[in-house]
Chains A and B, each alone.
Chain A
């Protein structure tokens, strides 16, 4: 029965995408220039946070090890990130006079203005981050299906590859229209998984003192001067908020979703409530898991230990299987499409071709192959106990945090406008940020052979990299704006 239900739902959604898009195909000249009629973008805004990397990776670790103060910080950082992205988009498009030109592609084009080398590096780093993020999703999907659904290693690898290809076809056939439509379905499935598993966890483990589990555990994000006072909780809140903010600032699929919500011209109160609601929803999902799942903080993480018993029920099993796949598809599709879109915009700035259909297809193929090469490479290196003694599928996502931190730092410093930077500087900023992060990471608790909860102790360093990158960018910006947009527009 579970296989039949999964097969039926995936088939229906695939056929829905195929037949509905025959009626409204992607425009051949600009396949991703689609801003109209995208359904319910509000529901899709939190899909970045609902990703497996976030839900079952960094955010899960933060929720379990650091409890409510950090979780609240994550939620606030996410909400702040959504507001900031909205403000950034509105400000970038403010100087566009014609309403029909206030498009998402115009926004992307504007953020790549300035020195050509800087724009190329910026686009490449964002695109690369999305490819690595998608590969992380594959790795974590594989691992979760092993521990939560009882798949063997081979089965899990094959399932991950197959689901990734299904996701690829969704967006290849339908671009953003398919992404947004499937996001709605996927959010429903993830919510069903969260409710089903959350209820079971809380019922089974409600005898455990849940109040104590909401507080931070010792040994995580500690500062010598703060002790265990409320100032420590404030410190946790701030670190987590920057983490939540940084993820959204560096995620082009989030920018697209926020742009679409902004297009709907909701009233200010409704708009704010929407952003707050979808921004905090994923953390409500995490809370029952954080309360119910207790981990041996000194040993390897075994998330299956508490999940497995509840999956004896077929309905819960199906709900969890569908939720995991849906969560993966939402984030994977968004990352894949975002990576391609950034590359297309960069190409357009250099070539100014009218028809981009072939370019779109080639970039889809390039990104797909890149993601799978990264996935297989990470499996061989980081999840191969017989060869390299590593069995840590979360290692790549932990390393990715540094790249997100540098991108976030550049955006914070330049306020989303890299034309403020002098020419040929961005590659050095990114190089220093990434190398600095890796030098720290390889000696940190995050670089462990098995997944350990102590990996969350790399987050404050990630925030430090973000701030250091921002500071470095500011230093480079001293001395004036070399490629100010206002000057180039004659304003």
Chain B
């Protein structure tokens, strides 16, 4: 860990030294083409839950509100659907009042196996799940009765339910498409804005007149 941090520090120091040795125009170009937009994108991804928004969170939650009978009657019935991906995570979803059973997509044997090994439970604190469930390599759906609160516990930290709500795949695909293009643009920016490796000769950058004259 300390070695990794030191390596990163060394890398940034070498990068900063290289940046300082650039001509004023090339420095400006580097900042404009990849440092500034990269910083903005990096902050958005790190603090905005960026990559997990579209490249798959570990779970999705949906609230159940009504029960519709075959005769056409509609009554209020509260519940929660949790779709858990086969990635490493741990969930504690408080429910009020607690339901008495979980309805899952696991078969009997796998459900029994995971319950006995403490990976799936329904207790006074609500629905508990630890993924990946043993013997399963696909998403698992869990349904339980009860009122969903405003927060759930994911991997030990409390998070708003809103961040984990099931969202439209059609909408998510638009976000994915745009983010991919953003990285494509950043890649073009790195290629265009980086100083030539060979110095003054054979400058293939966009502006070709007098690249080193400031």
A residues whose Cβ falls under 8 Å from a Cβ of B: 1-8, 10-11, 14, 18, 21-22, 25-29, 145, 149-155, 157-159, 161-163, 165-166, 168-169, 172-173, 314, 317, 321, 325, 355, 357-359, 361-362, 364-365, 368-369, 372
A173 near B170: Cβ-Cβ < 8 Å? no
B49 touches A154 (CB 8 A): yes
Q: Are B177 and A7 in contact (CB under 8 A)?
A: yes
- Distance from A312 Cβ to chain B, minimum over Cβ atoms (Å): 10
Main secondary structure of the interface of B (DSSP, over half): helix
B54 touches A155 (CB 8 A): yes
Q: Which of A149, A162, A364 counts the most chain B CB atoms within 10 A? A: A162
Q: Which residue among B24, B28, B33, B177 has the maximum number of chain A CB atoms within 10 Å of its CB?
A: B177
Q: Is the CB of B192 within 8 A of A173?
A: yes
Contacts A150-B168, A357-B28, A361-B29; A157 near B48 (Cβ below 8 A): yes
Bound-state CA distance A173–B33 (Å) is 9
Chain A contact residues: helix, strand, loop or mixed: helix
| CB-defined contacts of B177 to chain A, threshold 8 Å | 2-8, 10
CA distance A163 to B180 in the complex (A): 11
Which residues on A sit within 8 Å (CB–CB) of B170?
Answer: 2-3, 150, 314, 317
Please state if A25 and B28 are interface contacts (CB–CB under 8 Å): no
Chain A residue contacts of B208, Cβ below 8 A: 25
Which residues of chain A are near B209, meaning CB under 8 Å? Answer: 27-29
B175: chain A residues at CB < 8 Å are 3, 151, 155, 158-159, 162
- Verify A325–B178 contact, CB threshold 8 A: yes
Say whether A162 contacts B178, CB under 8 Å.
yes
Pair B40/A372 contact, Cβ less than 8 Å: yes
CB <8 Å contact, A161 and B32: no
**Which of B27, B36, B162, B174 is in CB contact (< 8 Å) with A368?**
B36
Taking CB atoms and an 8 Å cut-off, the chain B residues in 144-191 that contact chain A are: 162-163, 165, 167-168, 170-182, 184-186, 188-189
Q: Which residues of chain B in 28-71 are interfacial with respect to chain A, using CB atoms and an 8 Å cutoff?
A: 28-29, 31-33, 36-37, 40-41, 44-45, 48-50, 53-54
- Would you call B185 and A165 a contact (CB within 8 A)? yes
Cβ contact of A14, chosen from B32, B163, B168, B184, cutoff 8 A: B184
Whether B174 lies near A162 (C-beta < 8 A) is no
Q: Which residue of B lies closest to A5 (CB)?
A: B177
B207:A26 contact, CB within 8 angstroms: yes
Ordered by A's residue number, 26 sampled pairs between the chains whose C-beta atoms are within 8 Å are A7-B177, A8-B177, A14-B181, A26-B207, A151-B174, A152-B162, A155-B171, A157-B48, A158-B50, A159-B174, A159-B179, A162-B44, A162-B179, A162-B182, A163-B182, A165-B186, A166-B178, A166-B182, A169-B185, A355-B25, A361-B28, A361-B33, A362-B32, A365-B31, A368-B37, A372-B40
Given contacts A158-B44, A165-B40, A361-B31, 15 further A-B contacts (CB under 8 A): A7-B181, A14-B185, A149-B174, A152-B53, A154-B48, A157-B44, A161-B40, A161-B48, A163-B178, A166-B185, A172-B33, A358-B27, A368-B36, A368-B40, A372-B40
Interface string of B180-214 (1 = CB under 8 A from A): 11101110110010000000000000111111011
Contact partners of A163 in chain B: CB under 8 A: 178, 182
Minimal beta-carbon separation of A374 from chain B (angstroms):
13
Residues in chain A near residue B176, CB distance under 8 A: 3, 7
Q: Which residues of chain B are within 8 angstroms of A325 by Cβ–Cβ distance? A: 178
User: Which residues of B are found within 8 Å of A364, using beta-carbon distances?
Assistant: 32
Cβ distance A154 to chain B, nearest Cβ, rounded Å = 5
For B24, give its contact among A10, A152, A162, A358 (CB under 8 Å). A358
Chain A residues contacting B54 (CB-CB under 8 Å) are: 155, 158
How far does the Cβ of B148 sit from chain A's closest Cβ, in whole Å?
Answer: 16
A10 with B178: CB separation less than 8 A:
yes
In the complex, chain A residues whose CB is within 8 Å of the CB of B25: 355, 357-358, 361
On chain A, the residues within 8 Å of B27 by CB distance are 358
Contact of A159 among B45, B178, B192 (CB under 8 A): B178
